[in-house]
Amino acid sequence: MVGTKRVTIQEKTDVTESSRRQKTDTEDSSNVNELALEIVKRAIAAAIKFVEETKNPIKNIQWLTHGEFTAEKGRRQIEKFVLVKHWVRHTQFIERKDVVHSYYYLYCVHWSIPTAVRPMLQVSASAYFTVKITKNKPPDMPIEVSYIFEGHSLVHRPGMTRFREKWLRDIIEAKSILMESIHHNRDGNRVA
């Protein structure tokens, strides 16, 4: 009888340890699977970023130096930088601001996409460029350029962020939706 109890107790212990091992093995393989999945996700994201940068590198141009800069040359350089296929654009010099240690040259670039259905400009997207000329920098130093898109506050710098055509499309789409809602209100139609 004592021997029988021992066997019975031993069998219960073996079953309990066996189920613990199975749980631990299952948890370990679950952790390994999660880790492997995370590694694969990161590898795919890195590959996508690499391919995108290879196909569409961050665009920049050789900007003028302080000594070469004029308002007209600055306008032409901005035109060169913002060249986007299939888009009509116009770059306009707005003003020169004289501040304590610098001159700020302000420009506005307007883009639109005329089509066969709408050959006339109805909506456009704009970006505002600032060219900073520091008074005490040597003439061979490059100018500083930054820009923002209308309705946005994020400041972009050429060579630091990729100029995306999608941003222009998003601005035009938002304006088109707004204009359509205004036209619907004028006609007496309800806008949802």
Instruction: Check pLDDT > 90 for residue 131.
Output: yes
Q: How far apart are CA 168 and CA 171, in angstroms?
A: 5
For 129-141, the DSSP string reads EEEEEETTS-TTS
Greater model confidence, 157 or 117: 157
Residue 132 confidence (pLDDT): 96
Q: How far apart are CA 78 and CA 97, in angstroms?
A: 18
155 confidence band (pLDDT: 50, 70, 90): very high
Q: Mean pLDDT across the stretch 51-75?
A: 84
* Every domain of the chain and the residues it spans: 1-57, 71-186
CA-closest candidate to residue 127, choices 151, 104, 103, 105: 151
Instruction: Check pLDDT > 70 for residue 9.
Output: no
